[in-house]
Amino acid sequence: MPFVYEVMLAEESPQPSYKLAQQLVPAGTLVGTGQNIAILSDGKSEFHLRAPLQGLLVEWFAASGDPLDADETIARIVAEGSEQLVSDATPVRINPC
């Protein structure tokens, strides 16, 4: 039985101010656990936003340039199987080469 997961930012203290820089996968794409789905920016650095579970990314609620808030849904993923507890997404800093 499929279930819906709302991708949200994890609460951090202090809460950084992120903007969505780029969606890396379009809606309708099957994503894997840990796959980079977007790039976020805090104005100084860029961060990957990773899919917290495998499923079909069915909808984006944020577009490039949109500010992101920890209590707002960024994207929606539909996953197969029984509903499970999944942590909110924590942005991971992109290491320059």
Q: What is the CATH number of the domain that holds 72?
A: 2.40.50.100
Domain containing 39: what range? 3-84
Is residue 62 domain-resident?
Answer: yes
Is residue 47 domain-resident?
Answer: yes
User: Looking at the predicted structure, is the pLDDT value of residue 35 above 80?
Assistant: yes
User: Looking at the predicted structure, is the pLDDT value of residue 74 above 80?
Assistant: yes
Percent of the chain with pLDDT over 90: 70
How far is the C-alpha of 56 from the C-alpha of 79, rounded, in Å? 6
Is residue 90 domain-resident?
Answer: no
Phi, psi of 31 (to 5 degrees): -115, 150
Q: In Å, what is the CA distance from 48 to each residue of 12, 20, 34, 69, 77?
A: 16, 10, 10, 16, 17
Is residue 48 domain-resident?
Answer: yes
Is residue 91 domain-resident?
Answer: no
pLDDT the model gives residue 78: 96
Is residue 9 domain-resident?
Answer: yes
Q: Quick: pLDDT tens for 40-56.
A: 999 999 999 999 999 99
Is residue 53 domain-resident?
Answer: yes
Q: Which residue do the tokens 């309708």 mark?
A: 28
How many domains does the chain contain in total?
Answer: 1
pLDDT the model gives residue 97: 58
pLDDT the model gives residue 76: 97
Is residue 89 domain-resident?
Answer: no
